[in-house]
Amino acid sequence: MQIIVDIGNTDAVFGLYTQATWQHIWRTPARPDESAASYEKRLRLWLLEANIPLSAVKTTVVSSVVPDLTPTMRAMLGELFSFEPIVVGPGVYPLLPLEILRPHEIGADLVANALAAHTRYRRNCVVVDFGTALTFTTVSGDGRILGVAIAPGLKTAIRSLFSNTAQLPEVPIDVPESALGQNTTHAIQAGVVLGYEGLVRSLLDHIRAELQGDCMAIATGGLSGRIPSLHSAFVDVVPSLTLEGIRLIGETVSATVSKL
């Protein structure tokens, strides 16, 4: 039984993996100022509600794009389970079956996305991750990360409008019935939500053009299902793909260490 932790800029996602499936996925705000004890209390409660004893957890793996929160989560997991977690980062990348572009710059979540996609499909593919940022990570069929494109995420774009304009409200991420907004809420939804459909399709076209058309697209991330009309652009929508990649990194590291 494994606990996999994906610390993003907005949320920390905890996945409980056993018997070849994700039994539970829990989400909580990622707050660098929150104590290890607070996160431990939350995780203990989740495991208690799932009737999972601490002794059943044999591996923990952490991926983080929030450096200030990484030591807190690492210490919490080490104290709770009495063994050190595997931390995804440049130190473990040489063990992976990937050629990683700028290992000290690329986000750990993007490496996880690339590994999960490469392991699952074994061909040119681009992973579109709908999170705080909207990221496009392209990996070749032979396991080379070819490049990344990054744009503001849906919530980030809407919050930016809300924060930087005096009269525009923060609105829910819903697809409007028309691109001709008849009120402020629908106008923002038309511009941002429908606009993002065009952004995603356009970037996918650019990526495929550079790869002579040979590139499949996979969607992941907490907001991957919020624009249903985009689903036709992807061969698969896998919300847990990042967690799967982090788990695979942990398995690779554990297997290498066991051979030493």
Q: How many residues does the chain have?
A: 260
Work out the number of other CB atoms within 10 angstroms of the CB of residue 252: 18
Supply 25's token pair. 């996925």
CA-to-CA distance for 64 and 69, rounded, in angstroms? 8
Active site residues: 109
Pairing of strands 11-18, 236-237: unpaired
> What region does 33 belong to: left with phi over 0, alpha with psi -120 to 50, or beta?
alpha
